[in-house]
Structure 1
Amino acid sequence: MFVVGIDPGLSRCGYGAVHSGPGGLQARAIGVIRTSPQDPLPERLAELQGELRALFAELRPDVVAVERIFFQNNVRTAMSVGQASGLAMAEAVAAGCQVAQYSPNEVKLAVTGDGAADKQQVQVMVQRLLGLATAPKPADAADAAALALCHLAHAPVQARLAAAGAKR
């Protein structure tokens, strides 16, 4: 299975592409898409949309795992994260990908074993699980790779549940 994780944001949108196969887990691409806060909102959204479209077209993942907006103290931040999240999900579906959403706590629990883990713990575990020489930076990139890892951990269980439901 090939999964691209997306840590949505308008200024920094993290992505992490992870393949799971007979050879184990393999990082294919980890990085951040950036837009300039000085540019008008519509232009930034269009730029992010184009970058996501190109990313999905190049990588051709089976699934795109997007962080679910759980809670934000700052309304402006919540709005921009929501807009970026919506673009990521829409572009994933347009590219023919399945979409999954996970909360930050679900991702931390799947990757570190602790739903309250901090950013550094997530970065270190992503590094270890993917056999990387260094921890992915910035944290947005590591969080995106963690989303992909989270889906890879949950997918077998979800498939068994779906199969059990279909048998009823």
Structure 2
Amino acid sequence: MRILGIDPGSRITGYGVIATCGHEIGFVTCGTIRTAGETDFSRRLLIIFQDLCEVISVHTPEVAAVEDIFINRNPRSALKLGHARGAAVVAALHNNLAVYDYTARKVKQSVAGYGQAEKGQVQHMVRSLLGLDSIPSEDAADALAVAICHAHHAAFHSELATRI
């Protein structure tokens, strides 16, 4: 199964695609969608949508895992993040992908073993788990971590269903 992980952001949205076979996971691709050059916020959302549709078209994932938003101290930033997340979810649904949501804490726990792991720890663990030659950018690593988190949870639910 191919899993698209998405770390939404209004200026930088990370994406990562992994492939799974049983308990094995492998790297397919990762990158970022940068919208900071666009001053019109609505156009930023369109760029996120269009670029994720392109990633889905090229790499054909079956499901999408998206990091859930967190509420920070700035309500305006949280609203913008929510809009970016919405554009990402709509891109996945538009391409007939099932969408799964994971909190940042759950993603960090799944990948680094600690729910409050620093970004550098997540990058290092993603590199290690996927056998990458270099460390991906923070946003791409976060997206890959979301995909890995889903792979772990999907494998657990699959095993549970097999036992019952």
Q: TM-score, normalised by structure 1?
A: 0.90
Equivalences for 1:144-155 in 2 at 5 Å? 144-155=143-154
- The CA distance in 1 between the partners of 2:117 and 2:143, in whole Å, is 15
2:112 maps to 1:132 = no
Structure 1 residues without counterparts, runs of 5 or longer: none
Offset at 1:160? 5.1
* Count of aligned residue pairs for this structure pair: 164
CA RMSD in angstroms comes to: 1.9
8 Å Cα contact 2:9-2:81 kept in structure 1: yes
Offset at 1:38? 4.5
**SS at the partner of 1:48?**
helix
Counterpart amino acid of residue 144 in structure 1: A
Counterpart amino acid of residue 26 in structure 1: G
Structure 2 residues without counterparts, runs of 5 or longer: none
Identity of aligned residues (%): 38
User: Which residue does 1:79 correspond to in 2?
Assistant: 79
Counterpart amino acid of residue 135 in structure 1: I
**SS at the partner of 2:142?**
helix
User: Which residue does 1:19 correspond to in 2?
Assistant: 19
**SS at the partner of 1:116?**
coil
User: Which residue does 2:119 correspond to in 1?
Assistant: 119
- The CA distance in 2 between the partners of 1:122 and 1:159, in whole Å, is 25
- The CA distance in 1 between the partners of 2:3 and 2:63, in whole Å, is 5
Q: TM-score, normalised by structure 2?
A: 0.92
Q: Deviation digits for residues 6-41 of structure 1, max 9, x if unmatched? A: 000111000011111269321111110001255211
- The CA distance in 1 between the partners of 2:45 and 2:145, in whole Å, is 24
Runs of 4+ residues deviating >6 angstroms: none
8 Å Cα contact 2:7-2:140 kept in structure 1: yes
Distance verdict in 2 for CA 1:27–1:46, change over 3 Å: same
